[in-house]
Amino acid sequence: MIAAAVLVSMLPFSGQPILPVADKVVAKKPDCFVPADRVELGGYLGRRIEANVARLKSVDLEPLLNGFRHRPGSHPWIGEHIGKWMHASVLAWAETGDPVLKSRLDYAVAELLKTQEPDGYLGTYAPDQRFGLFEGADWDVWSHKYCLIGLLAYYRYTGSQAALRACVRVGDLLSSTFGPGRRSILSAGTHMGMAATSVLEPIVLLYRATGEPRYLTFAREIVSSWDETGGPRILSGLLAGSHVGHIANGKAYEMLSNLVGLCELARTTGEDRLLKAALRAWEDVRRNQLYITGTASYFEHFHEDHDLPDAEGSNVGETCVTVTWMQLTEQLLRMTGSPQYADELERSAYNHLAGAQRPDGAAWCYYTPLKGGKPYTDETCCCLSSGPRGMALVPRSSFYVTNQREGPEVVVNTFETAQAQVTVGGSTVRILQRSGFPESGSATLRIKTDSPTPFGLLIHAPPWARNLHAVSEGVGVLKGGWLHVRARDWTKSRSVKLAYEIGSSLIRGGPSQPDSEALTWGPFVLAYDGKRNVNLGPPVQFAVEGDRLQRLHGLEFRARLMGGTKRPLATFRPFADVGSDGSSFRVWMRRPDVSNPYADALFLGAQEGRSSEGNVTGSVCDGDPGTFVVTFDDKPQQEAWFEVRQSKPRRVGRIVFCHGRTFHDGGWFDTSEGKPRVQVKEHPGSSWEDVGVLTSYPDASAANPARLENGSAFTLVLKSPVKALAIRVIGKPACGDRPTQSFASCAELQAYGR
């Protein structure tokens, strides 16, 4: 079993845990859950975390530092990356004690501090373009935010006074630059100021670390700035009942970053209205904006409720959004102890966070669709730097100690093989969990204490873990999403055995997927794996026949399908794992009671081609107008075409072309010299012949798409059927607002007998 193999390499912790430096300011709203002193995860997430640590150790730090050494930097937000790397690496080092990470952290911090200017400036911009909205230079405060986050994390786990002094100088520079009677911080950040005001989080942390009241004053001024003219109205809008899609411009990453800061301020001051706003925003996202895989947003924004397109071209689930959503969720779990936050952390970690990470850890997706392909990248970008932070945060949310009046409890928030060390009433408690997860529902917790220590156990009971119960060491009571194992005096070494049922479920789609269903196994969202089902054809032909899965090995399953003339078995794998080999995949499948509009399509699953490969890995013959391809190559194109081809000629009477997507710089056909033409080829050696034009295609120009809607279908009905081995649509591509290039797009190209 997987868990047993991992357990062999999981040795007892060596050395003392690396504990954070105590704050000088005690929070007025203490956490219900206090993170464990140290955690090591094995199993599925443990392998992902291990790959993440390996990547953090191999990152080339010089390009990340050069923007500070040689101002201005090469990119408007080049300054965020070193702070994100430091934050992720500090967390990883605190959990592992890895000496290579520590050495690299010491180097990065020392080199970064060398670049700080006398007034405290620690950004990458030239003097004449600092702290303002200049073209190509408008993320200065944002970059300082991440430098603060990274340096404060380093200080907390090393006690480095040099790092703390650098943070103080940054804090003094920002607080003397922005505020009442000075410049508005909104004038130094995009997205209605939300990019700049997200510095709220580290400013609050700086106040708690130093005890200097001026930083708390500045934090309050930042919150007040939200209500300035043109401001995002985050706090007041949420308290008034506004949905997140209507707050500011709906930019998800920046808004969630501000909400994380609002939680830190609520924790520090004890103000319930601050926490209330964060709770309202979180609940709105969970109910109305969250994908089944635990991410939010498309095109990086919140939209109207349940508007959740899932194809690659919709730019689904920016990894920065996934990570910041998890940060907000973990904040609320710690502050409230409510299991709904544990549920959502689990969903995000096993699905969209892990799904954005290539399994070897070396690359991440900027966006991660629920169908199509995974566009991994190892080029420096915001998401390549954010993803590792999210993975490094996962261990911290796995074990806690309660901080409640009824007595201490050790919180176990993972079913993975794992070990943790916590402090209960001044005593050290070590926990080793041996688990059969995710293949079977069994676990044994071995608990060791240095001296008799009274506490209970609080074990996360997610909805998928059916009939969770303790089979030893007293009766466990399921209550409110937790399994409570009664308090007792733990002495030396004792064990608790857990059992639960792990299985499959069929989840019906919401308003964005009303005709669809998805399969899950435990916390894993599964996906139809194109590479392992290559002989079956496009999944749009089929529906899943119930939720019964046949497990092949590991996390590979087979499910019976319905559709066509046979009931084949298809392979499904976790969404987090599919696509890593370049194959296509699909989470949502058609419901059995919904008719297939492409049942009579003649070129479904055919070979396809286009005039230029483009940069979107969709399909034009998969029966899904939500997936598409483009001919984009950043060059001007005289003609663009899309083709589908079968192995034998088909008798064709009707041809349908679906427009793909309209972009600011093209994606449609320019009809100023004629509408797109439809052509057919009867035999492999014959020439393309025109059989008509798409007369209903709108009168679009090179720069104006004429209100062309994504996925719009245009039909050519032939006067009499023809034999066609292949069909294609050809026309002049548009350039939009970039006349130096042009391209077209296509969502579907299909033919029918009549």
Over residues 640-654, the pLDDT tens digits come to 999 999 999 999 999
CB 615 within 8 A of CB 337: no
Selection from 483, 611, 477, 589 nearest residue 540 by Cα: 589
Extract the tokens encoding 218.
Answer: 């500045």
- Say whether 318 sits in a helix, a strand or coil: coil
Render pLDDT for 149-161 as a digit per residue (tens, 0 to 9): 999 999 999 999 9
Q: What is the DSSP string of 514-532?
A: TTEEEEEETTEEEEEETTT
pLDDT at 355: 98
Q: Which residues contact 115 (CB under 8 A, 6 or more apart)?
A: 65, 68, 69, 122
Top-confidence residue, 531 or 122: 122
pLDDT at 702: 97
Say if residue 4's pLDDT is above 60: no
CB 521 within 8 A of CB 437: no
pLDDT at 9: 47
pLDDT at 174: 98
Residue 693 CA, chain-centre distance (Å), reads 42
Half-sphere exposure of 412 (CA within 13 A, CB side): 31
What is the rounded average pLDDT of the residues 662-688? 96
C-alpha distance from residue 638 to each of 304, 468, 635, 663, 733 (Å): 38, 64, 10, 18, 7
CB 200 within 8 A of CB 208: no
Q: Which residues contact 145 (CB under 8 A, 6 or more apart)?
A: 80, 83, 198, 199, 201, 202, 257
| Interatomic CA distance for residues 670 and 673, integer angstroms | 7
pLDDT at 626: 84
Say if residue 725's pLDDT is above 90: yes
Confidence of residue 475 (pLDDT cuts 50, 70, 90): low
Tokens 């899609």: give the residue. Answer: 245
pLDDT at 136: 87
Residue 292 CA, chain-centre distance (Å), reads 12
Q: Which residues contact 295 (CB under 8 A, 6 or more apart)?
A: 316, 317, 318, 321, 322, 325, 348, 352, 368
Residue 165 CA, chain-centre distance (Å), reads 34
What is the rounded average pLDDT of the residues 68-93? 97
What is the rounded average pLDDT of the residues 576-585? 93
Greatest pairwise CA separation for the chain in angstroms: 90
Q: What percent of the chain has pLDDT over 70?
A: 97
CB 528 within 8 A of CB 585: yes
Render pLDDT for 373-410 as a digit per residue (tens, 0 to 9): 999 999 999 999 999 999 999 999 999 999 876 789 99
- Say whether 357 sits in a helix, a strand or coil: strand
Q: Angle at which helices 339-347 and 319-336 pack, to 10 degrees?
A: 160
Selection from 196, 321, 316, 319 nearest residue 253 by Cα: 321
Say if residue 3's pLDDT is above 70: no
Q: Which residues contact 281 (CB under 8 A, 6 or more apart)?
A: 238, 244, 247, 255, 259, 328
Say if residue 5's pLDDT is above 70: no
CB 132 within 8 A of CB 76: no
Say if residue 709's pLDDT is above 90: yes
Selection from 352, 446, 460 nearest residue 397 by Cα: 460
| Interatomic CA distance for residues 582 and 571, integer angstroms | 16
Say if residue 699's pLDDT is above 50: yes
How much is the mean pLDDT over the chain?
94
In this structure, the strands spanning 409-412 and 453-460 are parallel
Cβ of 404: how many Cβ atoms within 10 Å?
13
Extract the tokens encoding 691.
Answer: 């059989």
Cβ of 15: how many Cβ atoms within 10 Å?
7
Domains of the chain are 234-397 (1.50.10.20), 402-501 (2.60.40), 504-590 (no CATH), 607-752 (2.60.120.260)
What is the rounded average pLDDT of the residues 737-749? 97
Say if residue 597's pLDDT is above 90: no
Alpha helix locations (H) across 185-232? 194-197, 200-210, 213-225
Extract the tokens encoding 687.
Answer: 């020439």
